Structure 1
């Protein structure tokens, strides 16, 4: 089901008339509206700080940082401030998966038990069952959201939310305890359960298991693997594993807004431990902007363009929300989101150090202002449709021509008579037919308002 965010974007595209070239820098009016919107959302959701970077292809076209990463020390947020990115870490784990796939180290259909024999993968019938790299990376394994080894972690989250006890820390299970839990864990959902489009049985445990399998398959510490194979090639110098701030590596302090007392409360330290592949990284808006740009490049070094597209298309790491792919990270004290529009090569990252923030409304706001700048310009010049269209792989052709300022087609002209074509939508023409049956022409452009292909009668015709 298309969500409200996507419906609004579709409406923007349908209403577009005279769009601006994608190379134009965001103008002062849009910039001012973005700044007003960020301030409004920051105030509405009580965020001590908000950092936003918007990217088009290889360029940051807008950035904004407001507030403080540390309220007590009045440390101002900047585009280079480090934040916990939580589940956005899964994107790096997914990329590492595809890298090892490209190298032939693993296969997406490989049984994870080949590398993690501690995992039995018991199905709902009580029998051991295999689970693949593809199932884990796309959240289709049916595994629970979290391992039973994380019971203390889950309890402490609730305890802190209930009591605000300063002595509580949030510690996910150690690798040792996580491995022990794999002997008894079973699927929460059946294999290959039929679900609505883009619905996933989201599993932090699944990504922790995935990271463990990748570590063993590569015969290298998982965190070292990601840093060496992804962060360094992309020059993400302020990205890595860690959730606790130190003198050498300052990470934003997380906060919870206590509405009844109208004050900010510091949130507990979070230790990712075994679930680091699912949510143990930190990064900056500048680094994540570079990461976004890498998804649009054909020579990004870390992955082939084909693998990048496969990740986006099949939801490997990414959450699909057409025409976007995205991923959100959330923990007590932090909210992060990365959003991509692959076709327009536009994306943005939002970093906050607050517990609650409505990204859907924020995304709608950014989309309304930014996407029309880069949307494909509809072809309005009738002359662009004129030409010879030859059936792909066949000998037939048709002509579309201008006469007295109107477009005509030679397709079935002996039956339809010389009736002019009419516009029926963006890059679409229609010939009034007979007996209630019209003939529809749908054209594809190359992104520069040049018609290159005609879809007619479910066949492809190429413009000569």
Structure 2
């Protein structure tokens, strides 16, 4: 049972849903798919934008995404399952399971060192243009060549050094230890165990029409180029998986404390324990899981980068909260979007603690909504019983949130926010029944955003006496 107030989480998710729809359009992302799991419930499973922009096919929660390095969490889970069975040990060396490495520099690398990215192994080989689809991804024979060709880049246990090749080798270890092909093992012992219908360890051509198209970045062109899906071959344990946001949060929930469908709590805590600080970031890495503290909340998970798809998942095993955001562009801001859900939950939780739990908040909803004028869009949001003025265009809309206090049934006062804003000033509402018609405040009069959007679509220009409204 989570200690988070359910109403606070529900408020955060309600706003997150609206904000994601806005951000997808505002940031010109082809498509965004997102899901939130709390305690034992799926609170959100939505999609925004397009699965195929050229064909005009709308994205749905059922479209499949390549979740790339999320695959490492499945691989690490499989390794810990085999250690629980006594088949495999974390201090086993590679040559114990892959005798073809005997005499090679990587022969003495341990399973644990690979899981924690401390083995010093090359990231993708000396020729990694398969990531640009210039070549095919390495098959097992090619993987063996990469592992035997100057793959020892830095000494083991010197620092965190991310390696897709290291996790690809773990796939071979799992196959050798289990007696099953890697893909067969993870299907039987993880995917089928949890009943995840839209998850698999590698691209499935039979479901080709179900995948969201991937797209290139806008950093080097004015338009996005479609990127085909390909098989990642022997690198599937590092980057091959596909899934949906809904399936991913269901999978993440199996890593909550107390859930023993995949692993014991002891093994989950071993995965979640910090092995290394990740240089250049505020984060750490465990065994197949990243660790981060967001607003005082310790969360775990992984990101994924596949040609055309950028994805991110976080989960809090104590408060039983998980969020996954999948985007179908190589510059998709999946991490930024997923972090926002956590920040919104934190803000709603703080509002719930600061507000009288027995008070009636029903009347506060009439003030909420998304409003705009020539200068900005702004959201009046109810989180945990507290009204806030947030900027939906901000990468972090919760940064320096402006609290709003009720003066009367038509007026709010700003009691927070940044110093350059309008602290202490009022927002005066004009209602028609319970429908907001306009808000007069420091930056002029704002209107429901649909009205301003409609005016922008029809106005040729803004001029004196001809405002955007």
Give the counterpart of 2:211 among 251, 254, 271.
Answer: 251
1:87 alignment counterpart:
69
Q: Structure 2 CA distance, aligned partners of 1:225 and 1:156?
A: 26
How much does 1:69 deviate? 1.3
Q: Does residue 1:292 correspond to 2:252, yes or no?
A: yes
Paired position in structure 1 for 2:7 = 24
Report the counterpart of residue 135 of structure 1 in structure 2.
Answer: 113
Residues 131-172 of structure 1 show CA distances to partners (whole Å, capped at 9, x for unaligned) of 111011111111011134xx2xx23545xxxxxxxxx65521
Rg larger in 1 or in 2? Answer: 1
Query: Is residue 319 from structure 1 mapped to residue 290 from structure 2 by the alignment?
Result: yes
Deviations along 1:187-209, whole A, 9 cap, x unmatched? 1111221x4xxxx2000000000
Distance across 2 between alignment mates of 1:121 and 1:255: 43
Pairwise CA distance, 1:74: 2.7
Q: How many residues align?
A: 338
Unaligned residue ranges in structure 2 (runs of 5+): 275-285, 356-469
- Superposition RMSD on alpha carbons, in Å? 2.7
Q: Deviations over 1:200-256 (max 9, x none)?
A: 200000000011011011111110000000011111111112236545662211111
Indicate conservation of the 8 Å contact 2:125/2:165, yes or no. Answer: yes
Question: Which residue is equivalent to 1:304?
Answer: 264
Q: Secondary structure at the match of 2:172?
A: helix
Question: For the residues of structure 1 that align with 2:26 and 2:100, how far apart are their CA atoms?
Answer: 47
Deviation at 1:60, TM superposition (A): 1.6
CA distance in 1 between counterparts of 2:354 and 2:129 reads 58
In the alignment, which residue of structure 2 is the partner of 1:240? 200
Separation of aligned partners in 2, 1:375 and 1:63:
25
SS at match of 2:273: helix
Q: Tell me which of 344, 347, 359 is aligned to 1:369.
A: 344
User: Structure 2: how far apart are the matches of 1:266 and 1:302?
Assistant: 37
State whether structure 2 residue 52 is matched by structure 1 residue 70.
Answer: yes
* Alignment partners' CA distance in 1, 2:4 and 2:108: 50
Name the residue aligned to 1:155: 129
Q: Pairwise mapping of residues 119-198 of structure 1 onto structure 2 (< 5 A)?
A: 119-120=101-102, 122-123=104-105, 130-148=108-126, 151=127, 154-155=128-129, 157=131, 170-193=135-158, 195=159
**Aligned match of 1:343:** 318
CA contact (8 A) 1:344 1:374 kept: no
User: C-alpha separation between the residues in 2 aligned to 1:208 and 1:243?
Assistant: 16
The change in CA–CA distance for 1:21 and 1:105 in structure 2 (over 3 A counts) is: closer
Q: Which runs of 5+ in 1 are unaligned?
A: 1-19, 159-167, 381-464
Which residue in 1 is equivalent to 2:224? 264
Cα pair distance change 1:21/1:276, threshold 3 Å: closer
Equivalent in 212, 223, 246 of residue 183 of structure 2: 223
Mark the CA change 1:181 to 1:328 in structure 2 (over 3 Å): closer, same or farther.
Answer: same
Q: Calculate the TM-score normalised by the size of structure 2.
A: 0.66
Please state whether the residue corresponding to 1:241 is helix, strand or coil.
coil
Partner SS state of residue 349, structure 1? strand
Query: Secondary structure at 2:6's aligned position in 1?
Result: coil
CA–CA distance in structure 2, aligned partners of residues 375 and 229 of structure 1: 40
* 1:68/1:53 CA distance change after superposition, 3 Å: same
Residues 432-443 of structure 1: pairs in structure 2 closer than 5 A: none
Contact residue 93 and residue 110 of structure 2 kept, 8 A: yes
Q: Say whether the 8 Å CA contact 1:82–1:238 is kept in structure 2.
A: yes
Question: Judging changes above 3 Å, is the alpha-carbon distance between structure 1 residues 375 and 216 closer, same or farther for their aligned structure 2 residues?
Answer: farther
